[in-house]
Amino acid sequence: MLGAVDSCTLAGFDVRGVEVQADIGHGDTKFLLVGLAATSVKEARERVRSAIKNSGLEFPGQRLTVNLAPAELRKEGSRLDLPIAVAIALARAGKKPPPHTAFLGELALDGAVRHVDGVLVAALGLRRLGYERVFVPEADAAEAALVECLAVIPCANLKAVVDHLLGVTQIQPFSHGGASAAAEPPATEHDLAEVHGQEEGRRALEIAAAGGHHLLLSGPPGAGKTMLARCLPGILPSLELEEALEVAQVRSLLGELPGHSPLDWTRPFRAPHHGVSMAGLIGGGTGLAQPGEISRAHHGVLFLDELAEFQSPVLQALRQPLESGRVTITRSAGSVSYPARFTLVAATNPCPCGWAGDPIRSCRCTPGGIDSYQRRLSGPLLDRIDLKVAVRRVKLETLASEPTGEGSSAVRERVVAARRRQLDRQDCLNAQLKPARLRKLAGLEPASRRTLERWAEQRGLTARGFHRAWRVARTSADLDGSEQIGEQHILEALGYRLQDVAA
C-alpha cells in the first residue's frame, strides 16, 4: 500500500517541493526514512510513531518505508512531521489526498500539530508552485492566510486532519479579513521636537529618510548622536503592503511572527551591540544560515552605535549588502540569500577618549592613537556612506530652554511627499538608482553639472562618491519640491562628502 502527499523544504527564501511517499510492505517491522534527511528530520520517526498511536490511529505493524523525494535534495526541520504521518494514514486507508494540496507541521507526541518556523515563506512559495490548499498548524494559520488565492486549513491535531481527509468530519478553512491598509505611524519615544539645535544633523536625518541614504554621525560623547539616530523611525512612513510582507517573511523564518497579528506596519529599527559577531550581524549559524541583523532591518533602519568599536571583519562584511540590498551566505549545507535593503545610521567618536576637536574638554589621545582609531573605519566602507555629519556639543543654556525645532510629524510629511515623487518618477528611492537611470531620470543642468564635476575632481571623489553625491542632490531637490537639481542642491550634497578626505 502506497500513500503520497506533498510538502516543501526551505533554503532561505527558496521554497522547494518535497513529495512524501509512504509504502507499507511485507517483511520485518521496521520504520525506514530515506531521502537525504537531516538529523532533525530523522527524529520524526519517533514523533510520528507516538503521535499516530496517541491519536487513536493504528500504526502499521509491517515494514514501513518513507521516502522524501527528490532524493538529492537535503531536507531539514520538523515541518515534515505532519506530511509523513498523513502519508502513512492515507497508505493504510488506500486514499489519495486532494489535488494541489500541501502539508506542513511538527507533531507532538500526543498528536497535536505544533508551530513551525517559516510558514509564510513556505505558503508563498507553494502558491508560486501552483498549490491551492495548504494544511498548517492552527497557530500559524493567520500567517499562511496572508497569501492570496490560497486556502488555509488550520490543523489542531493529527486525528482531526485524518478525519477531514477521510470525510469523517470537516475542518473549516481559516477565515480572515485580509491584509488591512497601513495605519498612521505610531507615536515614537523620540521626537525631533526634543532635539536642541543640531540643524545640520536634523537636515541630514531628513535627507536620509527621504532618499534611503546612509548616514554617519561623528562627535564627542553626549552631543546627541544617539538621540538623532533614534528619531529617524519617527519621520519614516509606514511600510507598504509589499514591504510589510517581505519584513514578515524574515520574521517568519526566525519564528518571531505573532500568531494573532502577523503583519506589522512599523519599519524595523535594529541596534545591535558593538560586540555582535559576524553571524549575528550578517547571518549564519549551523546548517543553512539564518538571517542576521541586516536582514531583520530590511526596509528599516540599522543603527550601529560606537561604529569604530565593532570588529573590523564584521564592518567589512557590510560593504556588499550596502551596495546590493541583499546578502548571500555560503555554509557547508548550502548557500542562501536574504534581503538586506536597510538605511544604515552609524555614530562614532572622533578618537578613543571622544574629545578630539572639542572646544571645552581636551583630548588625551596621542596622534598615533587617533589615527589608529580612525583607521578602523576603512575607506571603502566610508565611501558607501552618503551623508557624514559632525555633531557638535550644544551649549548648556540652549539645553535649559524650550526647543524650537520642528517635530517629527511635520518632517515626516515632507519625507512622505519626497518619497512619493521618487516612486512616481522611478519606482524606487534615489539611493537605489543605478548610474544609467540616474543620468536618465536625474539629469543635471549645465551649471549644476560643472559644479559637481569641479568639486569632485578637486576633492578626489571616487566614481562611487560622485554618483552618491548626485543621488543626494536629487533627494535634496525632491524635498524642496523642485523638478530640477539646482546648484544649491549639489553644494549641499557635496558638503556631506567633503569629510571623505579627513576620514
pLDDT digits (tens, 9 = 90+) for 187-221: 677 889 888 888 899 999 999 999 999 999 999 99
pLDDT of residue 187: 61
pLDDT of residue 179: 57
pLDDT of residue 402: 76
**Contacts by 194-198, CB closer than 8 A, 24 or more apart:** 194/227, 194/403, 195/224, 195/227, 195/228, 195/231, 195/403, 195/405, 196/224, 196/394, 196/398, 196/399, 196/401, 196/403, 196/405, 197/394, 197/395, 197/398, 197/405, 198/224, 198/228, 198/391, 198/394
Tell me what the pLDDT averaged over the chain comes to. 91
Q: Identity (one letter) of the amino acid at 318? A: L
473: pLDDT strictly greater than 70: yes
Instruction: Note the pLDDT tens digit of each residue in 122-177.
Output: 999 999 999 999 999 999 999 999 999 999 999 999 999 999 999 999 999 998 75
Domains of the chain in start order, with CATH, are 2-165 (3.30.230.10), 192-424 (3.40.50.300), 433-503 (no CATH)
Whole-model pTM: value is 0.92
pLDDT of residue 197: 80
Query: Residue 18 is placed in which grid cell?
Result: 518535497
Cα-based distances in Å from 233 to 61, 228, 415: 60, 10, 12
State the average pLDDT over residues 372-376.
Answer: 90
Which H or E run contains 92? helix 81-93
State the Cα–Cα distance between residues 43 and 46, nearest whole angstrom. Answer: 6
Q: For residues 85 and 64, is the Cβ–Cβ distance under 8 A?
A: no
**pLDDT band at residue 1 using 50, 70 and 90 as cut-offs:** confident
What percentage of the chain exceeds 90 in pLDDT? 76
182: pLDDT strictly greater than 60: no
State the Cα–Cα distance between residues 151 and 105, nearest whole angstrom. Answer: 16
pLDDT of residue 499: 62
Q: Highest-confidence range of 69-73, 293-297, 492-496, by mean pLDDT?
A: 293-297
**pLDDT band at residue 503 using 50, 70 and 90 as cut-offs:** very low
Q: For residues 90 and 5, is the Cβ–Cβ distance under 8 A?
A: yes
pLDDT of residue 178: 54
pLDDT of residue 333: 74
Of the chain, the end-to-end C-alpha distance in Å amounts to: 72
State the average pLDDT over residues 54-66.
Answer: 92
What percentage of the chain exceeds 70 in pLDDT? 96
What does DSSP say about strands 290-291 and 283-284: parallel, antiparallel, or unpaired?
A: antiparallel
Instruction: Note the pLDDT tens digit of each residue in 301-322.
Output: 999 999 999 999 999 999 999 9
Asked if the peptide bond before residue 70 counts as cis, ω within 30 degrees of 0, the response is yes
Q: What is the maximum alpha-carbon separation in the chain?
A: 89
Q: Identity (one letter) of the amino acid at 43? A: E
pLDDT of residue 501: 34
pLDDT of residue 502: 36
**pLDDT band at residue 61 using 50, 70 and 90 as cut-offs:** confident
**pLDDT band at residue 397 using 50, 70 and 90 as cut-offs:** low
SS3 at position 484: coil
27: pLDDT strictly greater than 80: no
459: pLDDT strictly greater than 90: no
Instruction: Note the pLDDT tens digit of each residue in 264-297.
Output: 999 999 999 999 999 999 998 877 889 999 999 9
Query: What is the sign, positive or negative, of the torsion defined by CA atoms of 191, 196, 202, 203?
Result: positive
405: pLDDT strictly greater than 60: yes
